[in-house]
Structure 1
Amino acid sequence: MSPVRYELVFADETGSAQDVVTVERTSSKGPGGHAVYADATGIIRAEISEQDEVRILASGGHQAPAQHVLARRLTETDPNDPPGTAGTSAAPA
């Protein structure tokens, strides 16, 4: 299962200036088939692969996707998953 939350770190070309935004997994899949994550406003949307590769997705017109973005995992598993079922489906009891 994909992590629930990531921090997206947006850096300028020199890497000195950084903005950090927390995003959470949505029920959507991106064009590459990976989970889509969004911030609380829905303005920042990103497709993040299992290898933490980031593709920023446009959420409106006239947007220029960021080029220098790093994804940092904040959670490894969904806290709503039953214990011991990471990456598997639990059978109903």
Structure 2
Amino acid sequence: MARRFALTFPGEPGGHAKQDVVVVEPTGATGPGGHPVYADASGIVRAEISDRGEVRMLATGGHQTPRTPMHAEPLPPSGD
């Protein structure tokens, strides 16, 4: 399992906005599906990622509706 992932999100619907890429690292927690939970440096973007690269976004606050990334790219550990 990768130690970090780059999650690629689509741009805003109805426009030609560029895609957003967020790097997430393991938190040590396990999500509702039993897979590791990853988060960005701010802790706002949280995702459960399976060993097959399936992503389940996890809300971090009330009334949040997280978008699902189009792609999850495994990255080498930071510092490599």
Structure 1 length-normalised TM:
0.71
User: What is aligned with 2:59?
Assistant: 58
Q: Percent identity?
A: 52
Matches within 5 A, 1:50-89: 50-75=51-76
Measured after TM superposition, the shift of residue 67 of structure 1 is: 3.1
User: What is aligned with 2:37?
Assistant: 36
Task: Write the distance in 2 (CA, Å) between the matches of 1:52 and 1:34.
Answer: 10
Largest Rg, 1 or 2 = 1
Mark the runs of 5 or more structure 1 residues left unpaired by the alignment: 80-93
User: What is aligned with 1:90?
Assistant: none
Mark the runs of 5 or more structure 2 residues left unpaired by the alignment: none
Structure 2 length-normalised TM:
0.82
Paired residues in the alignment total 76
SS in 2 for 1:59: coil
